[in-house]
Amino acid sequence: MSAILNRRSVPQHLLTLDHRPSSTGIVHLGLGNFHRAHQAVYTAQAGDWGILGVASRSATVADALNAQDGLYSVLELSPEGSSVTVPGVHTGAIVAAHDPAAVVAAIAAEDTRIVSLTVTEHGYCMDPSSHRLALDHPGIVADLNSPAPVTVIGQVSRALELRATTHGRPLTVLNCDNMQSNGTQTRALILEFLRAANSPAADWVADQITFPNSMVDRIVPATTDAYRAAAYELLGVDDRITVPAEPFTMWVMEDRFAAGRPAWERAGAVFTDDVEAYELIKLRLLNGTHSLIAYLGALDGRATIPEARAQDFIEYAAGAVLQDEYLPSITLPNGFDVEAYVESLFQRWSNDALGHRTQQVGTDGSVKLPQRVPLPALRLLDQGVMPEHLALTVAAWLCCVVPMPGFDPGPHAHAMVDPARDRLGALADGKPQELVRKACAQVFPTQLAQSNEFVQRVAEYVAVIRTDGVRAAARQAARSRTPHQPPAPPAA
């Protein structure tokens, strides 16, 4: 049996932080692959800031991380080659579902200066129509009456309350999920929770706690045995929890930290007040287009994003949704080279050494698409233009996760996990028009769900995918496309 990765067996030259961190300044909720290939990598390069990792439910990563002395490897993969590093920045790991009170205590500890979050879009318990806290969410209902909260919003809120009533030290809550205005939204959700709980700490939180907005970016697939074997080749020891990642990485955030922060700029993080523009660029051009590639790809039998993107009809649809429908909805920061950015996106989606799966990007569409599709779609609808490829995105998603009777979307679509799958599945027996109308009402903000023309167009694409296949639907969208006209230059 080969040796396990730990402080004794790790090849020292691969360690980013060469000593065990002396204290825990950051409590991080969401110990998935993304955090471990992104924020943890930046933190390891930024000095002596330890991270306590909190897994939400599964003990797999937390147990392995503890057994490996807080170590794991990041396996960087590209067609040019592969390499591995070991950040070495975690001081331990716990599982929230096993011990919610320990999570509250860790966030409330005096030494904790930042609580950061990658709990995915559905970890925030938002009402899809209003984007406010879902006060009827069973977890929120329970947390409003319990000292051992089960939701992330409940855990952070109760911990802030505890800080307020004990040592009173400020803290930063840093959302690192793909949500628009992620810091501002988190602040609103936490204040809503505290006010609904009649907590006297609400005003203290509003004053003392900062919630910087941030944009995070790195493509990070799920770990498989093939990645573990590749990491073993480079490490010479076994790492049960290696994280595969692309070489590209980007992090842009507001510099509003109430109790200090690591020098993340040493690792290339950018601090700016103009985060919203970067968030929109990332959420729409990358994530929005990614969703379309994933759903079209899965319906076309493609296992990975690079295989999907290599199909001419998908490359065309990706270019169309990006150029005609997402890009015009964004005001670019001064000096931003959008052509180079778009070219780099297509290159990143072509990384076949990474093999990012369509199933992974297609997972959780009911909570990802509301962050990506509605505002750009409404903007065009207001101008009298039908956003054909956004309608196709929604139709392809529905065909993947709520296939109508007699339609088999294939194995990659079946493998997509979606919190709304069962709820929406009950709608599959009706006509496409009914299915789409009810599904949009459950998932999207009211304004989009009530756009009859949009709902009608999505339903048409659902019907075409079902009877003639995804390629026929993409051909129809290409024929109906309204290419974006850049605004005319002002008259001299």
Q: Quick check: 177 binds ligand CS2 (CB under 6 A)?
A: no
**For 145, which DSSP code?**
T
Q: Quick check: 217 binds ligand CS2 (CB under 6 A)?
A: yes
Q: Quick check: 368 binds ligand CS2 (CB under 6 A)?
A: yes
Assess contact for 97 and 150: CB atoms under 8 A: yes
Q: Quick check: 189 binds ligand CS2 (CB under 6 A)?
A: no
Of 41 and 235, the one with the shorter C-beta distance to ligand CS2 is 41
Q: Quick check: 481 binds ligand CS2 (CB under 6 A)?
A: no
Footprint (CB under 6 A) of ligand CS2, residues 57-96: none
Neighbours of 51 (CB within 10 A): 28
Q: Give the nearest distance from C-beta 395 to ligand CS2 in angstroms.
A: 18
**CA-to-CA separations, 329 to 293, 316, 336, 374, in angstroms, rounded:** 20, 20, 15, 11
d(CA 30, CA 53): 7
Please give the residue whose beta carbon sits closest to ligand CS2 in the complex. Answer: 290
Q: Give the nearest distance from C-beta 251 to ligand CS2 in angstroms.
A: 10
Q: Quick check: 361 binds ligand CS2 (CB under 6 A)?
A: yes
Q: Quick check: 290 binds ligand CS2 (CB under 6 A)?
A: yes
Candidates 78, 287, 329, 442; binder of ligand CS2 (CB under 6 A) is 287
Q: Quick check: 239 binds ligand CS2 (CB under 6 A)?
A: no
Of 133 and 220, the one with the shorter C-beta distance to ligand CS2 is 220
d(CA 215, CA 330): 15
Cβ-proximal residues to 245 (8 Å cutoff; 6+ apart), any chain:
33, 37, 74, 75, 76, 77, 218, 219, 220, 221, 354
Assess contact for 395 and 439: CB atoms under 8 A: no
Q: Quick check: 113 binds ligand CS2 (CB under 6 A)?
A: no
- Pick from 64, 157, 72, 173: which is nearest to 114 by CA? 173
Q: Quick check: 350 binds ligand CS2 (CB under 6 A)?
A: no
User: Among 216-224, 264-272, 440-448, 481-489, which window interacts with ligand CS2 (CB under 6 A)?
Assistant: 216-224
Q: Give the nearest distance from C-beta 238 to ligand CS2 in angstroms.
A: 27
Candidates 35, 131, 158, 218; binder of ligand CS2 (CB under 6 A) is 218
Block residue for tokens 């968030």: 279
Q: Quick check: 466 binds ligand CS2 (CB under 6 A)?
A: no
Cβ-proximal residues to 389 (8 Å cutoff; 6+ apart), any chain:
292, 317, 320, 321, 324, 325, 477, 481
Q: Give the nearest distance from C-beta 437 to ligand CS2 in angstroms.
A: 25
**For 78, which DSSP code?**
E
Q: Walk across the sheet containing 270-271 and list its strands.
A: 214-217, 250-253, 270-271
The pair of structure tokens assigned to 69 is 């002395």
Of 61 and 258, the one with the shorter C-beta distance to ligand CS2 is 61
**CA-to-CA separations, 82 to 74, 75, 430, in angstroms, rounded:** 10, 7, 49
Q: Give the nearest distance from C-beta 102 to ligand CS2 in angstroms.
A: 28
Of 208 and 287, the one with the shorter C-beta distance to ligand CS2 is 287
Q: Give the nearest distance from C-beta 361 to ligand CS2 in angstroms.
A: 4
Provide the sign of the torsion angle of the four alpha carbons 200, 204, 209, 211, taken in this order.
positive
Of 52 and 281, the one with the shorter C-beta distance to ligand CS2 is 281
The pair of structure tokens assigned to 433 is 């028009």
Assess contact for 104 and 274: CB atoms under 8 A: no
Neighbours of 309 (CB within 10 A): 25
User: Among 217-225, 389-397, 417-425, 463-471, which window interacts with ligand CS2 (CB under 6 A)?
Assistant: 217-225
Cβ-proximal residues to 467 (8 Å cutoff; 6+ apart), any chain:
none
Of 171 and 443, the one with the shorter C-beta distance to ligand CS2 is 443
Block residue for tokens 């909260």: 149
User: Among 55-63, 215-223, 320-328, 464-472, which window interacts with ligand CS2 (CB under 6 A)?
Assistant: 215-223
Candidates 178, 185, 186, 351; binder of ligand CS2 (CB under 6 A) is 178
- In degrees to the nearest 10, what's the CA dihedral of 257, 262, 264, 267? 180
Of 261 and 284, the one with the shorter C-beta distance to ligand CS2 is 284
Q: Give the nearest distance from C-beta 309 to ligand CS2 in angstroms.
A: 13
Q: Quick check: 219 binds ligand CS2 (CB under 6 A)?
A: yes
**For 284, which DSSP code?**
I
Of 28 and 357, the one with the shorter C-beta distance to ligand CS2 is 357
- Pick from 27, 20, 472, 36: which is nearest to 241 by CA? 36
Binding site for ligand CS2 (CB under 6 A): 178, 217-219, 287, 290, 360-361, 368
